[in-house]
Structure 1
């Protein structure tokens, strides 16, 4: 039997800060409450047309997913503007109902304007989604002009309910989310320590162990980035000084992450002592004190460096635990909230703006999907347009779009198959069917942030159950939905590849260039003797840029891609990860007193390497490399400090674009850290 604490720990481990849980709950409650209120209005005040219910449900979803403004007041304004846009486009759809050809062309215009509105930021994106879905529902349910006043009740109710659910019932709270994410950081560090204890007991590390540790470290990185995002920062992004409570918390979190990563790296070179790992897990101060004295006599030995890293991890973990306990007691009262303002970006309607190119692609894909969808069905062609529109959402390249189209198609296929069986079994069990539908809605939006295919799977099940409850479920209807979805997905993919394509290489070039710029900024900041909080902020920027590189490179390693060597992609990412790791070492170990002329000379040499290789961009992902092999040389982090970090950054970067003589397992005799992927 799982206890409440065990379930909470499991939930936090899989959903740091419980953001996915809140997303699923908010959308589900908004739909249920909106539908209930609309039903009561229908029964007690005025009969409502079907379009009012449809708009209420769909816009409840958009209110929970598309509204991303900072602050509840801004969110309410966006929702009310979305209601106004909804009324306008539904009115246009109703007025043009008798002129179907003209209505279809106007739908394409609405799609273009809705997509173009994204240049105005989060508010433009949300209002655009409200307009698109409202015209979609207006064309689908065919409300008359006379019904518009009561049809509007649906969007208004959904907006007010969604706002109440998010602002009052399940509000955002950065203090609560920060505490939960810190607890998740500690939990993932504990998982890594347990794995290191198992390795220490075996006395060896094989490739399967390395792979597991890599996965655990990736999960730790995810939740560290999340925790960092909750720490309030001044408008400039950099803390005022090391004495600020927020800066101290950021440094403690940084230390915990870096110490854990270093313990993993050095354990590859020399497996840790089981006694020491167990002492770190138990926070046994007596044993740890004895180990510190023993390590003092192991200068320059691999075992000593591993022990030092574990002792550092023990101290960082203890500080993190103290921070969590203090946060529980005071709710981080010593850290002042900072008003977050959305960064103002210039409005650019030219084709140089990727958002405008995407708007043209979406409109053309929708036109193709509309034409083919109409040929297949005059009543259900909207599904094809919907699929073509959504496959472009949150994608940066044609490869991303193709992946999302594939995910939508697969999710729809399996969702229909499973939903057909489920709807058949629940034909005479209305209450159970409703309950299962509610659960599926929750699961769809719970998984939205991590798997688009899973979300589509559960939504398809819900549609099958709804059709079953309405008595219109047939195999031909579900087959038609799948066909229309495939039409939209294929149309979106073809347009993404053939019309104003955002090439994966181009997107990757941009991400790599930003990473190089951030790395150069760090090296210059060290040379200029900037404060440690400033260096840590820059190193976090490098970490975020590395994450963007991994996302941009994702299509290169997909099974459908022309590139059929994902191992090569992982090797290149390992080198970027290595330099990112050493940049954190540099930011943490550097002090102004340590920046002498020798270190400045080494930094100048590294900057020269950056300037030489950076223009080659994503070419590094196409370089054939020999398979890396592990060596026994340890990494004396504590003895050489910032100098070693600067040296490792330079020698590791040279491996991105190796010559035949440089294509060796390790450059300049140094081991590549933190991990070798192949």
Structure 2
């Protein structure tokens, strides 16, 4: 959508400017300004977008004016450029509007350098920029409108598509043939990838809930239903892996790339059970794809009713305990899909409800009534040079000064490419490692883009509109590939520049080679500034993010266990959302450590293992929170005071690990030993029914306990000496 909106703004600006007899140089300026005016504004509310766009025009006019006035004054122009860079980065502290206005000011000043703006051309440039901003407004608000409600609706559809994709890969896992070498491994990779993408879609929905929902209650309800569907789908994947595996599979398997899974032959499931599983998984996939049934029959409600019956042990197919767990998980997934449909599309086809479906609807209604408003959490702001925006502004200014000096030695006319690269490698980065990886990717993309630029420039020759058409395609490629690969985005940027130089009649192979040299120089200057000026070590940032994740994991576990033990009800949805956000930040901060160019292989493997363990713990914490949310309103989920004992051990271990991450001396050792089930044994040795709510709570607590203990070894936290067991432990499958 961002690509379509930007391309539309460029095309509209060109369509208005061309009949006015605008020169090619000013057409290029108009196209670049329309692009900047469109992609710089990232606010979610339409009113905020309009205000920022209106404020951006005078900022752009001031930038183009100063660029034209200072174009012939080398020293004054360079000094102002550095001041402008500092201000543009510092403005990020004022939120999306400050970031957008700073970006517009910097990029439009860059446009003035690119087209060699002069004071005599200012009136025409003013008209060009005004038309570009107007074109951006028309496309943004009329042609390709973006409202929070529309965005959230698209994200809901994306979540449904990802959910259907995950279930399709689970069916492939059931059918995977272990006799072929690459079959199971490819299916497992697809399963891990689709699980991760479903979680990404859920996180994107979280970021748009407040603005895209009609009220706080609707936002909380949708968040609950999305979380339920994600948890149910992931749990189904783990149980299917257990059914296909020769031994017990941990949840970690779905989060750790290339984790070995000893899949057994399909024959071990049994032909009858395998056929029934395959049938029901395809029925579940159908429920996701066709969430709103048509009016031509009762087939879809019948399938839904049958799957929901598995929750009540009705019609449960025969098979081993692992196989029957899969059918129960299918029933839970069907319930989650029903809840998602009720939250998004409202109540429908109630006349076909079975008693099981009616009970599920009653549970959903009770949960909806119990949802409370969300509370805002105040974040502690840092001051001075410790504030990230101030530190980044100083770093970028120093790096840009070095890039200007070095760029002038390479070329007195194209030096600004080095400054642009230095600026770009600092965008959306927070540590030295991230800057190094981004600089490397930009250089790789630039080299490949130069090759493409040579080929495209030779192909278009003097055909102006053919060159503009290819420029528009490159712009769309930039935005389409930006979330996927920074190197690919840099490739399209450089290929576009080759075409723009062709339009300006300044194209040559030497210019594109100079582009590589300036890019390498700018990346090097950015890295030098990041290393020497107020550096933020990657390990320091990852430790901060890790401490945040552990703190929020403790909050979720503690609150969920308290509610499951009979404590007061709290807003677990908010706590779980904060945990997911912190984990996503940690995942981003560890990318420099897990990148293929990272030299320390052992450290790379350790970082992947820790993140995978935390993702596993977060999954079980979300599952606990989802179950605990049912306690106040459900008739089938009751509190158990014995769970508090297990919660204390888990939170104690999290506190010790968090202290180790903060470089504090841990006050004690990690407690392990007896399983959670044996700790809660009241002496009657009652057997928990597989698939019951109590069994599921204990299983999640057990996996959480194991995951937290597993974090102790790579983080260097001392473990308690194992105690000799006087009686066999009660283990959960």
TM-score > 0.5 by shorter chain? yes
Q: Does 2:222 match 1:249? A: yes
Q: Which runs of 5+ in 1 are unaligned?
A: 1-21, 330-334, 621-633, 674-678
CA change 1:167–1:637 in 2 (3 A) is farther
Per-residue deviation, 1:582: 0.8
Q: Pick from 462, 470, 488 the counterpart of residue 436 of structure 1.
A: 470
Per-residue deviation, 1:259: 0.7
Q: Pick from 314, 331, 338 the counterpart of residue 293 of structure 1.
A: 314
Name 1:369's counterpart in structure 2: 403
Name 2:431's counterpart in structure 1: 397
CA change 1:428–1:149 in 2 (3 A) is closer
**1:592-638 deviation digits (Å, cap 9, x = unpaired):** 57444322222222222222111222899xxxxxxxxxxxxx99674
Per-residue deviation, 1:347: 8.0
Q: Does 2:677 match 1:640? A: no
CA change 1:637–1:359 in 2 (3 A) is farther
Task: Tell me if structure 2 keeps the 8 A contact 1:426–1:433.
Answer: yes
Q: Pick from 146, 159, 164 the counterpart of residue 185 of structure 1.
A: 159
**1:29-54 deviation digits (Å, cap 9, x = unpaired):** 112222333344x43xxx7794x545
Task: Tell me if structure 2 keeps the 8 A contact 1:70–1:341.
Answer: no
Q: Secondary structure at the match of 1:472?
A: coil
**1:215-271 deviation digits (Å, cap 9, x = unpaired):** 110111111222333334799x9x97xxx5544433222221111100111122113
Name 2:196's counterpart in structure 1: 218
Q: Which moved more, 1:504-513 or 1:527-536?
A: 527-536
CA change 1:348–1:91 in 2 (3 A) is farther
Q: Which runs of 5+ in 2 are unaligned?
A: 245-268, 285-302, 350-367, 369-373, 665-688, 723-727
Task: Tell me if structure 2 keeps the 8 A contact 1:384–1:484.
Answer: yes
Q: Which has the higher contact order (CA 8 A, sep 6+)?
A: 1
Q: Does 2:327 match 1:307? A: yes
Q: Does 2:550 match 1:516? A: yes
Name 1:608's counterpart in structure 2: 652
Name 2:67's counterpart in structure 1: 93
Per-residue deviation, 1:544: 2.0
| Paired positions, count | 616
Per-residue deviation, 1:640: 1.7
Query: TM-score, normalized by length of structure 1?
Result: 0.82
Q: Which moved more, 1:187-196 or 1:410-419?
A: 187-196
Question: How far apart, CA to CA, are the structure 2 residues paired with 1:132 and 1:526?
Answer: 48
Q: Which moved more, 1:223-232 or 1:403-412?
A: 223-232
Question: How far apart, CA to CA, are the structure 2 residues paired with 1:672 and 1:425?
Answer: 66
Task: Tell me if structure 2 keeps the 8 A contact 1:512–1:618.
Answer: no
Per-residue deviation, 1:353: 0.4
Name 1:117's counterpart in structure 2: 91
Task: Tell me if structure 2 keeps the 8 A contact 1:179–1:328.
Answer: no
Per-residue deviation, 1:202: 4.7
Pairing of 1:513-662 with structure 2 (within 5 A): 513-526=547-560, 528-529=562-563, 534-565=571-602, 566-590=604-628, 591-592=631-632, 594-617=638-661, 638-658=693-713
Question: How far apart, CA to CA, are the structure 1 residues paired with 2:58 and 2:378?
Answer: 24
Query: TM-score, normalized by length of structure 2?
Result: 0.76
Q: Secondary structure at the match of 1:450?
A: coil
**1:529-573 deviation digits (Å, cap 9, x = unpaired):** 378782123222212222111111111111222322333322212
Question: How far apart, CA to CA, are the structure 2 residues paired with 1:584 and 1:345?
Answer: 23
Pairing of 1:1-150 with structure 2 (within 5 A): 22-40=1-19, 42-43=20-21, 50=25, 53-150=27-124
Question: How far apart, CA to CA, are the structure 1 residues paired with 2:281 and 2:556?
Answer: 32
Per-residue deviation, 1:98: 4.0
Per-residue deviation, 1:93: 3.4
**1:65-119 deviation digits (Å, cap 9, x = unpaired):** 2212232332233223322223333333333344312221221111112211112
Task: Tell me if structure 1 keeps the 8 A contact 2:381–2:387.
Answer: no
Question: How far apart, CA to CA, are the structure 2 residues paired with 1:463 and 1:483?
Answer: 15
Per-residue deviation, 1:120: 1.5
Question: How far apart, CA to CA, are the structure 2 residues paired with 1:49 and 1:347?
Answer: 47
Task: Tell me if structure 2 keeps the 8 A contact 1:415–1:456.
Answer: yes
Question: How far apart, CA to CA, are the structure 2 residues paired with 1:346 and 1:661?
Answer: 34
Name 1:497's counterpart in structure 2: 531
Question: How far apart, CA to CA, are the structure 1 residues paired with 2:690 and 2:388?
Answer: 43
Question: How far apart, CA to CA, are the structure 1 residues paired with 2:461 and 2:690?
Answer: 65
